[in-house]
Structure 1
Amino acid sequence: MCKLLPLPSPIYRKSMDAIALLGWLVFGIQSKSILDGNTKFNKQMSVKLYRQHNAHVLHSAPKDKLLVYRVTEGWDPLCEFLGVTVPEGPFPHKNKGGNIVDSMTTDYPVFSKMQREIILSSIALSSCAVLIGLVLYKYGVSRIFREAGGCWDILMTKIGFS
């Protein structure tokens, strides 16, 4: 399924190219797309690169510009670091229960556009398949290929696509 998604949705293709670039920049993963099915992940290498990156940031960043923060700590350390007052109300838990994907598909216009592109492209591809099927049914598959003599140009002329 993931191999078919880039075909009908240009937005999907662009977003996967951006993710692939990010994977290459951060982890050295070289692939046209992270979801193309050809990417081989070495879990130990990914963990090692992740830890190296974090160590580099901890070592290189100025201490007054770096906050090592865990979401479980809530508002206080974050607001203190940013020099702002602590907001009233509880700390938000956007992905509690793993519902972030449902939220993204309904709240972000790019996902709605991607869904529309996929639906419209699927309709167009299905219509083409039905049209080809009707032409082959009407003229007969064996007759078309027999008369075409194996030549693609003659075949396209015979069924009216030239």
Structure 2
Amino acid sequence: MEYTELLVNIAFIAVLLGGIGLTLMGLPGNVLIFLTALVYGYYENFVHINFTSLLVLLAALAAGEVVEAIAGAVGAKREKASKRAVAAAFLGSVIGGIVGTGVLPVIGSIGGAILGGFAGSYFAEYTKNKSPEQASRVAQSVIKGQIIGMIIKFAIAVAMTAYILASVPWS
């Protein structure tokens, strides 16, 4: 292996690990992992990372994003939340994540998404049923769902990285 190839592979691994780290912080690390595979595939003329591999990675990327996006709402539904609370959990998570990123990049996006999902679902459920206990149960279930969604998305990031690294020649 030439030094240029070695340096490219080291940079490739560093970016993939950075993608895992970004995913862990609630940022779009899975997108970075996919784009890194795409660039590497282009670099090596799609010999080892080919179009089939890219389709598998794209499907994993999409699955991770969908799971993360709906996990809080699914958590709310487990507590027999109103449709309004389920929608508010999703919307609150998105808005909270955006606001949280603006306030404190990286950590703020996770905290904002969780707080936004909690507040949105609590407020929506409370205004419908006037029961603070039910609203609290729904909001707590939203947080549990969001955490599970983040864990699944992180696991997908690790799996995507392992799949990519297994596809690349190392000799």
- Structure 1 and Structure 2 fold alike (TM over 0.5): no
Larger radius of gyration: 1
Normalised to the residue count of structure 2, the TM-score between the two structures is 0.26
Normalised to the residue count of structure 1, the TM-score between the two structures is 0.28
Ranked by relative contact order (alpha carbons within 8 Å, sequence separation 6 or more), the top structure is 2
